[in-house]
Amino acid sequence: MPDPIQGDALRGHLQTLVLSVLEDDSAHGFEILRRLEAAGRGALHMKEGSLYPALHRMEKQGLLKAAWEAKSSGRGPRRRNYRLTAKGRRQLRAGREEWTTFVSVLSPIIGATA
């Protein structure tokens, strides 16, 4: 298994990662965290302390729309569900384009294949 990717290595990419896992379906914060870690195949480790401020920031920027569950599901406190807005979908496309450029430019420099 590769070394875990966390902290500083994720800086600048968290927004695109979150938007990506919300592309097809809304989710609450812990589910977003679970989806990211599952997609990272054991190499991606995130802390709730990094995720929740990012979710609030993205909501303020209009990239996400959030709503509280109507009532508790019986599993604890009510959850706040997040979904992409039209602006969030545009930002996701831009983030993917930026990532593609980033990888295509840096891969030859460091001798990696994209």
Give per-residue pLDDT as tens, 78-89: 899 999 999 999
Enter the pTM of the model: 0.83
The set of residues, in sequence order, having a beta carbon less than 8 Å from that of 63 and lying 6+ positions away, is: 15, 19, 84, 85, 87, 88, 91
Does 10 score more than 80 pLDDT?
Answer: no
Q: Where are the domains of the chain?
A: 7-110
How many other C-beta atoms can be found within 10 angstroms of the C-beta atom of residue 32?
Answer: 23
Q: Which CATH class is domain 7-110?
A: mainly alpha
**CA–CA separation, 12 vs 105, rounded Å?**
17
pLDDT at 100 over 60: yes
Beta 64-68 vs 27-28: how paired, if at all? Answer: unpaired
What's the whole-number mean pLDDT along residues 47-68?
94
Mean pLDDT of 84-109: 93
Mean pLDDT value across residues 102-107: 87
| pLDDT range class, residue 76, cuts 50, 70, 90 | confident
Q: How confident is the model at residue 17 (pLDDT cuts 50, 70, 90)?
A: very high
